[in-house]
Amino acid sequence: MICVLAGGVGAARFLRGLVQVVPAHDITAIVNTGDDTVLHGLSISPDLDTVTYTLANAIDPVRGWGLENESWTAMSALARFVDVRPHGSASAPTWFNLGDKDLATHFYRTARLREGATLAQVTSEISQSFGVDVHLVPMSNDRVSTFVTLANDCAAGQQGTEITFQEYFVKHQHSVAVSSVRFDGASTASALGLDTLNSAQTVVIAPSNPLVSIAPLRALQGVDAALTKRRESVVAISPIIAGAALKGPADRLMTELGHESSVVGIAKLYAPICGTLIIDTADAHLASKVEAEGMRCVVVDTVMSTPEKSQHLARTTLESAR
């Protein structure tokens, strides 16, 4: 079994390549649920859905999230309620786009959770319905919610105010500075997939945001300890290339939260739990600095712009773990 610690887009692209190298049923992805939210009363799990839709070849290739050939009739119809909802009401939020077909996923997840199913069960059912054979495991069945604290007064609120991850990421398009991140519920939630984490032949930390996608997993009891114990067969792929994130706020968050936005900053975060760091050719000159943090360093093209590139990166990743 190959175990992959996963956020959203970067992990999904990596998994898309990994299934070309290893049979899908020999792969378990433990997926971040700190981004999960409830809107319109619906339980939404963005990272799980990004991974599922990508592996099903159903992701919208341009947007990078949601389903392809999507329509937005429900979202448009919601607009009529915006003028009548009372001040302060959280109903009819229009800042988080949910496509018509995508809504069906959230309907199903919500209904099954209400019937008493666990998130792991529902996740398995949804991935099965999409024909995905990779085992997708939410990091916990318990609710863990990522919050960020605003570093300055801004449109999102006063300095020191906590907002939810989706308010930060989607509503404010991650354009506001943050001073800290917190994973509410992480200290009491029980981690899923610990057995796989211990027994897998190789553990891969996908090129996902280290501070808001991988950190929630690491905040769960037992995860860092399991990784530390088997550190030599844990491989990470840097989501930072030439100092920048390919997408999203990973680079700014690194700087704002006191880390170096570079492969060296990634090495410092991962060295205790991971023996090998894969960095992009653009960062080849930093390989010795990565090694100085106590990690083996492998240099390869890590930009997964095509399925073939994802496959090549997956193969290199598995080889470098041996």
List of residues contacting Ca ion (CB under 5 A): 7-8, 35, 47
Q: Which of residues 295-314 bind ligand GDP (CB under 6 A)?
A: 302-304
Asked if residue 265 binds ligand GDP (CB under 6 A), the reply is no
Asked if residue 50 binds ligand GDP (CB under 6 A), the reply is yes
Stretch touching ligand GDP by CB under 6 A, among 130-138, 139-147, 151-159, 234-242: 234-242
Residue 64 beta carbon to ligand GDP: minimum distance, rounded to whole angstroms: 7
Token pair for residue 104? 């069906």
**Residue 300 · residue 281 · CB < 8 Å:** yes
Query: What is the enclosing helix (H) or strand (E) of 297?
Result: strand 296-300
313 Cβ contact list (under 8 Å, min separation 6): 14, 17, 237, 278, 300, 301, 302, 304
CB atoms within 10 A of CB 183: 21
**Residue 57 · residue 131 · CB < 8 Å:** no
Between 47 and 256, CB nearer to Ca ion? 47
Stretch touching ligand GDP by CB under 6 A, among 68-76, 118-126, 131-139, 247-255: 247-255
Closest CA to 211 of 162, 264, 161, 253: 253
Stretch touching ligand GDP by CB under 6 A, among 4-12, 122-130, 253-261, 292-300: 4-12
First to last CA, the chain: 14
The listed partner (ligand GDP, Ca ion, none) that binds 302, CB under 5 to 8 Å by sort, is ligand GDP
Interacting residue ranges for ligand GDP, rule: CB under 6 A: 7-11, 13, 47, 50, 207-209, 213, 237-239, 241, 245-248, 250, 302-304
